[in-house]
Structure 1
Amino acid sequence: MMGRLQEKFRSFFSNRWLVFVAAMWVQSCAGIGYLFGSISPVIKSSMDYNQRQIARLGVAKDLGDSVGFLAGSLCEVLPLWAALLIGALMNFIGYGWVWLIVTGRAPTLSLWAMCILIFVGTNGETFFNTVALVSCVQNFPKSRGPVVGILKGFAGLGGAIMTQMYVTIHSPDHASLIFMVAVGPTMVIVALMFIVRPVGGHRQVRPTDAMSFTFIYSLCLLLAAYLMGVMLVEDLIDLNHTVIAIFTIILFVLILIPIVIPVQLSFFSEPRALEEEALLPAPEKQEAGKSEQDANEVIFSEVEDEKPKEVDLLPALEGKNELPNCKQNYSKQLQKEQ
């Protein structure tokens, strides 16, 4: 009994749907750039900036959100958990330092130094994006479009989720939103950085995958509609703190609901034979000199539908057919010249 339970837990932590759900939660922390419009008034008032200086900080934020080659390069040489940790540290240091300056706990810096801090803090989310996308694309090689669309959708909802959390805290200090931006994503990423990883998902294909994607799609639409409705109600009606707290609890329930998919697949479904789950046939032989890591690596050219061999042979066949015609034309030309 204990051995079977351990096997189910092992299957749960190596389930590609668990990785996908964790990546969705990671992406919900990758929308910190959308909150700049909410934190800029606090920076403007505390630092005595004018609108032009705030606009320069906005440019630094946009650059940090767009420059992702560093994250992509590091993901090639470092484990994915290390890339997530680097992104979390960048987010924490960048926005954490801004919070210390705004609240007077650290000395004031010049505008260019503030731009660097905003750039570093926002650039951390490119690490979240890169790791989440790389892991899920490798785990769902046949469903890359839906996976990327869902993950980017959660990144867009991240700002609204954090705003609702800030409203629930009901802090009179507006700088606490900057503190939340610095600490909240860091805690989530540290908690999930060992879960979001490739787990050989191309060998975990199930007939219920389409139904699971439909469920996730529906939940995303429901979550977006719920957030929009809650924010409209909070803006139009003066609600007490208890109602706002209930709204936030419902929000967290909606965010946590997708975990039922890997739980159901790991604990409440019958185990299937490996050959039924395998998307690719196991290689019969390994060439000499190839390492075991190379043998287990997912190659997308093998996963995709490959081009038929006849297509590559067409030019050669056409060349053989055209060769006699060329000889005949050349002979006729020689006869005319003679």
Structure 2
Amino acid sequence: MSSSNPLPWLSLVAVIWLQAVIGTNTNFAAYSSQLKQYLSLSQLQLNSLAFASDAGKLFGWVSGLAAAHIPLWLVLVIGSTLGFVSYGLQFLSITTTSETSSFLRSYPVMFLLNTVAGNSICWVNTVCYIVVTRNFPLDQQVVKVAELTFLRF
């Protein structure tokens, strides 16, 4: 790969920005207190919702399987849609008072939404890692460590 080609570096910057904007690894902590207050949840129920968010990541293998069989842009669209819908419905359940939001406020629905929201980051991360490893075939480990180090902060 020629060092004069800026596209691999632009893709790395885009991947880092995409993962920083998605931010689903840190989102639950940001809105969990509002969720607890508006839905009148106990601390145990809130902890279970945090577990649901993490448990969604256990199904990350599905995104890897999908990436092997469908185009990467479609994997990214699926992940973005999962995140948009699950976080969007959680937002609506907190901010609206309609009859629809009362259905969304039920604990089983909220548990499912948190699981899907947690899983959505796997779809995005799968695309990001594939793009980075394809664009930096000789430096895959270095790029992954740099990317993960950036995302910790």
Q: Distance in 1 between matches of 2:152 and 2:74?
A: 24
Where does residue 69 of structure 2 map in the other structure?
A: 77
Q: 1:161-200 alignment to 2 at 5 Å?
A: none
Shift of 1:35: 2.5
Q: Secondary structure at the match of 2:101?
A: coil
Pairing 1:48–2:40 present: yes
* Pair 1:143 & 2:143 matched: no
Q: Which ranges in structure 2 are unaligned for 5 or more consecutive residues?
A: none
Q: Which residue of 1 aligns with 2:57?
A: 65
Residue aligning to 2:86: 94
Cα contact 2:83–2:117 (8 A) shared by 1: yes
Measured in 2, the distance between the counterparts of 1:155 and 1:111 equals 31
Looking at CA atoms only, which structure, 1 or 2, has the larger radius of gyration? 1
Distance 1:153 1:125 in 2: 17
TM-score by length of 2: 0.87
Aligned positions, number: 145
List gaps (5 residues or longer) in structure 1.
1-10, 158-338
Is 1:121–2:117 an aligned residue pair?
yes
Runs of 4+ in 1 over 4 A off after TM superposition: none
- In 2, are the aligned partners of 1:27 and 1:152 still within 8 Å (CA)? no
The structure 2 residue matched to 1:34, chosen from 5, 10, 26, is 26
Q: CA deviation at 1:87?
A: 0.6
Q: Is the 8 A contact 2:57 2:119 kept in 1?
A: yes
| Overall identity of the aligned pairs, in % | 30
Matched residue, 2:101: 107
The structural deviation recorded for 1:33 is 2.3
Shift in Å at residue 154 of structure 1? Answer: 3.2
Q: Residues 28 and 156 of structure 1 are in contact (CA less than 8 Å); yes or no, is this contact kept in structure 2?
A: no
Instruction: Note closer, same or farther for the CA distance 1:33–1:118 as it changes in structure 2 (3 Å cut).
Output: same
Which whole-Å CA distance do the structure 2 matches of 1:30 and 1:146 have between them? 22
Give the C-alpha shift of residue 30 in structure 1: 4.2
Q: Which amino acid aligns with 2:143?
A: V
Residue in 2 aligned with 1:21? 13
Q: What's the offset of the Cα at 1:104? A: 2.1
Backbone CA RMSD of aligned residues:
1.6
Q: CA deviation at 1:70?
A: 1.0
AA in 2 matched with 1:137: T
Do the aligned residues in 2 keep the contact of 1:33 with 1:65 (CA within 8 Å)? no
- CA distance in 2 between counterparts of 1:84 and 1:147 reads 20
Q: Distance in 2 between matches of 1:104 and 1:30?
A: 24
- Tell me which amino acid in the other structure corresponds to 2:56: G
CA contact (8 A) 1:31 1:156 kept: no
Structure with larger RCO (C-alpha < 8 A, sep 6+): 2
User: Contact conserved, 1:64 with 1:119, CA < 8 A, in 2?
Assistant: yes
State the Cα deviation string for residues 137-190 of structure 1 (Å, max 9, x = none): 121111111111122223333xxxxxxxxxxxxxxxxxxxxxxxxxxxxxxxxx
**Counterpart mapping for 1:117-266 below 5 A:** 117-157=113-153
